[in-house]
Amino acid sequence: MRLSHVSNVTPDISLAAAVVAVSNHPNTSGTLPTSSLPPSSCSYDESYKYVFLPVCYSLTFLFSLTLNSVVLLRSCRHHGGCCGGGGSSGGGRRWNTSLIYMVNLATTDLMYGLSLPFLVASYVLRDSWVFGDFMCRLVRFLFYFNLYCSIFFLTCISVHRYLGICHPMRTITLESKRVVKGTCALVWVVVFILTCPIFRFAQTGYMTRRGSGAAGPGGSRDGGNRTGEQDEEGYMNCWDDAIDKEFADYVPYGIVLHLLGFFVPFVIIAWCYSQVVRTIFQTLRSPPSSIEGGEDGQVGDGATEGVRERERTSVSISGSQYSHYIRRRRKSIKTIVTITLLFALCFLPFHVTRTLFLLLRRGQLGGCNAMKTVSICYKGHSAAGLLQRLAQCPPLLPDGR
């Protein structure tokens, strides 16, 4: 995605996916008129991205590789297999629905991390792509495919928590491993269909820039036509969205991708967790029935003292258990709020700024200040990718039990 007059290669996913790339949209041969771009005086130095973004990508890669590998290895080791088929007969603990979702989430997050070294290399080489056109399309596809798989699996987890806490008796049939596996398979298929057009739009193209490293409005983004002057240098770029002559076709797809891939899941997650918090608040008003009951025992006609003793013991245990119950419920609320805020922090800025960019460029709206502001927000959001790697760790996901 390109936001300024300095070429760039990579999407800043914020991740989750989301550390984002920002490049220029110089137009010399596309269908959009050159007047749609900010004037040449709008050029500003973004050379810092060649250090800032590789560092963010590298750290995100390390976090993703380490944390998700640990999750997958521990799941396979302690649950008798890596496909959710482990059971008591296999010597491991049984797989539950939460663990199946978690393994799928860790898998897609690990795949996302494995695509980052290519983007790091591209930025280290100052936007020069040396891996060929097919790898350009594949890396861009994997980048967004795994991003939206992560979002969809986080959405599934939130719906699972909502059903388990707010409607526990109505959703017993949804707890079966077969249903959960089918849901996970459906997520993979739906996200693949949603992101496969990236194979068409993402491609390599010859780009020119001034010798200082800043691409000016005379640079070429036509996918192969070489233009430039004596003081310009050429390089092969890997476009994140589309070249100029296909950009008008990309905008509707990009907006639909953002809408279905993030904004709809975000609304679902926010609603589910708000209902979970509301239900937890309601349970805090009175002790649960399981805590109110006394100890088991037979009460005979001559056991009055025994009954009184059990009542005294029951009151003592009930008060202690209820205090512990209150602390757990409050901790659950804090965890849910934290997860929701981290999800918004990691994904919302990326999709808002990217959507704004598509609308600004396609509608020929906004000037230098608008594009510069979007560019800074877009690239700066790459640091949130580190938070997203941590936000998806199992200890932070609210437990429905």
Confirm whether 10 is domain-assigned.
no
Query: Is there a domain that residue 322 lies in?
Result: yes
* Nearest of 352, 350, 355, 356 to residue 370 by alpha carbon: 356
Spatial neighbors of 303 by CB under 8 A, at least 6 apart, are: none
pTM above 0.85, yes or no: no
Task: Indicate whether 100 belongs to any domain.
Answer: yes
Query: Is 25 domain-assigned?
Result: no
- Give the residue numbers spanning the domain of 72: 34-289+311-396
In a domain, 327, yes or no: yes
Helix axes 49-78, 384-391, angle to 10 degrees: 10
pLDDT digit string (tens) for 313-371? 444 445 566 676 677 777 888 888 888 888 888 888 888 888 888 887 776 566 666 76
Question: What is the token pair recorded at 300?
Answer: 């005979």
- Counting the structural domains of the chain, the total is 1
Burial of 359 (0-12, 13-18, 19+ CB in 10 A): middle
* Residue 2 vs residues 10, 181, 361, 379: alpha-carbon distances, Å: 9, 38, 10, 10
- What rounded mean pLDDT belongs to the chain? 71
Whether 16 is covered by a domain: the verdict is no
Please say whether the beta carbons of 219 and 243 come within 8 A: no
- The answer as to whether 98 is a domain residue is yes
The band of 45, judged by pLDDT with boundaries at 50, 70 and 90, is low
Q: What number of CA atoms fall less than 13 Å from residue 315's CA on the CB side?
A: 5
Residue pair 119/201 in contact (Cβ under 8 Å)? The answer is no
Query: How many whole angstroms separate alpha carbon 88 and alpha carbon 46?
Result: 57
pLDDT in tens, 125-158: 988 999 999 999 999 999 899 989 999 999 999 9
Q: Is residue 182 part of a domain?
A: yes
Which CATH number do you get for residue 177? 1.20.1070.10
Q: Contact 27/44 with Cβ under 8 angstroms?
A: no
* Residue 74: C-alpha distances to residues 88, 95, 275, 372, 393 (Å): 17, 12, 32, 45, 13
Span 301-309, average pLDDT: 42
pLDDT of 350 = 83
